[in-house]
Amino acid sequence: MTRKQCFAPVVNSQTRILILGSLPGEKSLEQGQYYGNKQNAFWFLISEVIGIDLVELGYEERLATLLKHGVGLWDVIADAKREGSLDANIKEHQANDLAGLISSLPNLAVIAFNGRTAAKLGTKQLTRLSPRLRLVELPSSSPAFTLPVGKKLEAWMALRG
């Protein structure tokens, strides 16, 4: 079983919303891109939230547009052993320093967890943080979570308000 590592955080001092996944899947790791699997609905969902079509943009432009709109990305897991892409297969994980990152983001107001695993692991770390932060558990954008994309979108739109 190979050890997988997350990507660097995509944030800046303007980040208001931080979306935390669990750990990038195989296709994302192969491409070196957050949500690189075309079957993952993340780029569609966040496009709807910010009102700009990111799906048609190149990866670097997607990230720049997210930052411009106050949205950051990272994962709750720094590295772990995992076969394949399923969160259920994550073993021996090491957590990212969420508190450290959050303390460096002066405008942060919302932490959104992309999926149940991210929420479960991330919430454990963040229970001691400032009550100024709103924590939101979103349905996973992963194709492995079979909730219809329209239902996922309804929940994701909570990031707008």
Residue 141: closest CA among 90, 85, 84, 99: 85
The secondary structure of residue 160, as a DSSP letter, is G
For 27-79, the DSSP string reads: HHHHHTSTT--TT--HHHHHHHHHTS--TTS-HHHHHHHHHHTTEEEEESEEE
40 a catalytic residue = yes
Q: Position of tokens 């897991």?
A: 77
* Closest to 141 in 3D by CA, of 58, 47, 72, 8: 47
Q: List the catalytic residue out of 12, 37, 40, 107.
A: 40
Are 89 and 78 contacting, i.e. CB atoms less than 8 angstroms apart?
no
Residues tagged active-site: 40
